[in-house]
Structure 1
Amino acid sequence: MNAHARPIPTAADVDAAAERLKGVAVRTPLVYSPLLSDMTGGRIFLKPETLQRTGSFKFRGAYNRAVQIPEERRAAGVVACSSGNHAQGLAAAAKLLGMPAVIVMPNDAPALKRERTKALGAQVVGYDRVTEDRDAIANAIAAERGAVFVPPYDDPDVIAGQGTVGREICEDLAALGLSLDIVSANASGGGLMAGISLAVKARFPDALPLTAEPADFDDHARSYKSGIRERNAKPAGSFCDALLAPTPGEITFAVNSKLTGGAVSATDAEVARAVAFAFLELKLVVEPGGAVALAALLEGRIPARDKTVAIVLSGGNVDPETFEACLKTL
């Protein structure tokens, strides 16, 4: 379905998603980090979506979309394309709702993510990230089965579900008597950032949302500057496998281009050090794609001094070999 055929989500949609997710999604904690605060001169809080169902924020948006599928359409199931986190999130949501799921995944996706997706009951269909079009494959399967295609990010219900991350950040800071100055989250197609920005700007209008992305896949940064959706030069080449969408989504860019305050990036080497730092110093397991915002903070690219900053650790689904390699960087 063309993105323009569906409305741009609002903060009210995020609030509605929060009601649907209540008691189903994990309300992950907002954790103050004395160490990061001392290092940066700011008040640094972490939102570890690594503790969410299936190990990433993706469950929120997937469930919010799937639960709204009419009962008469559920037998045909859902279809998605994903490198792993949306795959697992939708597979888990479908299982909870008693629906079949088919996930189109790149052949180079981490084996751990493929196996976890299968373990949740989904059928996995592989494709070549460089030579094949994942959306075309997924849409063909959906058409054949009469299933509902659930995009990984460019969908108002998915965006609204992801926005509950930002809503929870705001609620928890308000409970501490604090306002939010900066929030940074990792971006592939931009759904998490769009949802967070909607929720945050409704509660803290002066807050600065910052998109974080791999250095060689900075399509959001370039798109914000040009005012149009720019594409990445190549489809693969970073170990941040969760963040390799070719271009910002139509709906997500419509939101992010108005509400975000810009973008930061980090190289694979910097992200690897951030993954190691999270484990050794913060006692958290974070996958590369979930650690770019943290890496940018550690590299001094987020202006944290004297600010209240929330960093979203968006996922923790890292295979042992990659994790071991990251630990060797420190």
Structure 2
Amino acid sequence: GLVAMSYFYHEATGEYSFNILDWQSLSLPLSTQIPLFLAFSLAFAIKTPCFPFHTWLPYAHGQAPTIGSVLLAAVLLKMGTYGFVRFSLPLFPDASVHFSGMMCAVAIVMIIYASFIAFAQKDIKQVIAYSSIAHMGVIMLGIFSMSREGISGAVFLMISHGIVSGGLFMLVGFLYDRRHTKLFSEFGGLARVMPLYAFCFCVVLLGSIGLPLTIGFVGEFLSLAGIFKISFSYALLGGLGIIMGAIYSMNLYKKTFFGAIVHEENKKLSDLNRTELCSIVPICVLVVALGVAPNLMLKSIEPSVTQSLELMFNKASQTATRAYMEKANFKVRSDAK
């Protein structure tokens, strides 16, 4: 994709460049945008990970140490969705709209399919891994709504998912260090012996579910609000996936922290120590603080989103592209017309 884009820039200007600002100055026809969009999107889809390129993620989390899972979920996954926002949409606006239905359908499959698989897991870490795929599906819906609300919500959800999933994998790592297992069947009743751990896990898990006044709610709500302007069906199915997320997350919490303590080893588990508290408490604070006051981040996100949408609107050569963006209630500023 990068080589092809540089080639087309050379054909248009006589020079080679990998400067994205130079690429944005080109106005490519739809016939040229389509193969370039597909080339870029294939790479981003694998990284995101989109269905059916998602199978590497649960395996990677299962084999990775705690710090590897934290970095993968909190930072590296977002490179894929960032690529869609930074490259695919502004460089190929007509192709983005042309394939928007396909991308939204893939996102819906990610949300619902991953939610069912997460519910069937017996390993705590695998539940969180599959929930990450479902959350990335919601982000994809927001991105391809191409509305101010949807893309702002998607970017916010990238940040919030990084905070929440990183915290969850960290908490699972704390438990694994004590028991060297992550299976539901090995736990139960942990809230009695590890009350601080149970409280922190609950706060971060509620952020993952998207409970109102937590960090996860803002991004999910805005993403679904954006896609609702384009398709009620996509918004409904996306909302169904979020409900399923609450089901498998609460099932995880119930099996791990409630009920009788069956295994003797669990009766002697120590609660969070100072080092662990210093690492997880700031995450818990962010989960609540950015859920209560999301404008702390949104006010920095929205100007960039508006600028990107204006660039897309101005570069669009297809009537369908402008109609799609107008359907999303996008209004072009007077100086951008």
TM-score (norm 2): 0.26
Q: Which has the larger radius of gyration?
A: 2
Of Structure 1 and Structure 2, which has the larger fraction of its residues in helix? 2
TM-score (norm 1): 0.27
